[in-house]
């Protein structure tokens, strides 16, 4: 039994499709509302809430392998529940900032979760992806309203990763030997700047999308209003304010683990163009 948490999210949906396609199973997808969840055939929808670890016990019953996205609840309690249920292997999604910016608050939190998993006694695989292509969804409302996309550090390019590539690596780690005790840094196939991302979305839409570079100060004010000052600073540091060679590096991990090349941002834009219309 494999349990996929965050089963309706960008990674979880793709992972369930891949697991079902390769004949893995039995499979469970964790969601807060099983009645509204749409999963592939033969995937059991189970309800649970990370904010209430007790609610996860029925979902974990009989589970051998667990796919877990970090920092969505009390990770210590979630891992304790998994261990108590007899889970043998956990594939954890952390962040590449755990190695590129370990001094930042979110990175420290990810490192703490990684440490808890390693000390749990369960087998582990840790995935450290870079910036998600799906982060571009934060521009969707502006693009639908035909307003300018406003972003700082317009020409700093990170090797943005398609969430489906994270899912592909997770599928390999859950179903193939040789991945336990490994930590994988994951990136897309090439650097792509904010300006280039908007251009790719415009090409997928078949129309112009205006773009305006803004200052860090303006971007910080917008983000801090939603996420708080510390989180806003952390995001801005890793998207342009404090980039380093390790964060900018393109890695071949996806192709080495899965046997398929990492998907370019343009593919993500074409697949998700409808969200921006």
Q: What's the pLDDT at 243? A: 83
pTM value surpassing 0.85: yes
Residue 215 to residues 14, 74, 192, 222, Cα–Cα distance (Å)? 35, 35, 19, 11
- Residues 201-224 as b or e (16 or more Cβ within 10 Å = b): bbebbeeebebeebebeebbeebb
Of 132, 129, 201, the C-alpha closest to 160 is 132
Model pLDDT for residues 118-177, shown as the tens digit of each residue: 999 999 999 999 999 999 999 999 999 999 999 999 999 999 999 999 999 999 999 999
- Alpha-carbon separation of residue 194 from 16, 17, 138, 204, 240 (angstroms): 30, 29, 12, 15, 10
Please tell me the predicted confidence (pLDDT) of residue 273.
Answer: 97
Nearest-angstrom CA–CA distance, 124 and 43: 23
262 has pLDDT over 90 = yes
pLDDT tens per residue, range 11-68:
999 999 999 999 897 999 998 888 888 888 889 999 888 888 888 889 999 999 999 9
In the sheet that 123-129 helps form, which strands lie side by side, from edge to edge? 43-47, 27-31, 2-4, 65-69, 89-93, 123-129, 182-186
pLDDT at position 104 is 86
Distance, in Å, from the CA atom of 239 to the CA atom of 131, rounded to the nearest integer, reads 8
**Residue 257 confidence (pLDDT) above 80:** yes
pLDDT reported for residue 233:
84
The pLDDT of residue 188 is 98
pLDDT surpassing 80 at residue 79: yes
What three-state secondary structure class fits 206? coil
Select the more confidently predicted residue: 84 or 238. 84
Q: What is the pLDDT of residues 211-256, one digit of tens each?
A: 999 999 998 898 888 878 888 888 888 888 788 899 999 999 999 9
Q: What is the dihedral of CA 21, 24, 29, 34, to 10 degrees?
A: 70
- 209 near 141, Cβ under 8 Å? no
Torsion angle defined by CA atoms of residues 150, 104, 185 and 60, in that order, rounded to the nearest 10 degrees:
-100
Asked if 13 contacts 7 with a C-beta cutoff of 8 angstroms, the reply is yes
């Amino acid at each position: 039994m494999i349990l996929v948490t965050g089963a309706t999210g960008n990674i979880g949906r793709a992972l369930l499709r891949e697991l079902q396609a390769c004949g893995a199973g039995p499979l469970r997808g964790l969601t807060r509302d099983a009645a509204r969840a749409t999963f592939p055939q033969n995937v059991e929808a189970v309800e649970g809430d990370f904010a209430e670890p007790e609610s996860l016990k029925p979902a974990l019953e009989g589970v051998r392998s667990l796919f877990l996205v970090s920092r969505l609840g009390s990770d210590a309690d979630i891992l304790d529940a998994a261990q108590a249920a007899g889970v043998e292997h956990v594939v954890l999604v952390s962040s590449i900032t755990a190695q590129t910016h370990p001094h930042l608050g979110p990175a420290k939190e990810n490192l703490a979760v990684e440490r808890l998993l390693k000390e749990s006694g369960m087998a582990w695989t840790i995935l450290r992806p870079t910036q998600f292509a799906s982060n571009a969804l934060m521009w969707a409302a502006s693009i639908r309203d035909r307003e300018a996309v406003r972003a700082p550090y317009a020409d700093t390019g990170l090797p943005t990763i398609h969430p489906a590539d994270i899912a592909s690596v997770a599928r390999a780690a859950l179903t193939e030997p040789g991945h336990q005790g490994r930590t994988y840094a994951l990136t897309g196939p090439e650097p792509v700047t904010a300006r280039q991302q908007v251009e790719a979305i415009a090409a997928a839409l078949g129309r112009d999308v205006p773009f305006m570079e803004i200052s860090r100060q303006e971007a910080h004010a917008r983000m801090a209003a939603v996420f708080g000052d510390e989180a806003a600073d952390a995001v801005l540091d890793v998207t342009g304010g404090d980039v380093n060679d390790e964060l900018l590096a393109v890695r071949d991990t996806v192709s080495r683990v899965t046997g398929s090349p990492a998907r370019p941002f343009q593919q993500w834009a074409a697949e998700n163009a409808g969200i921006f219309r």
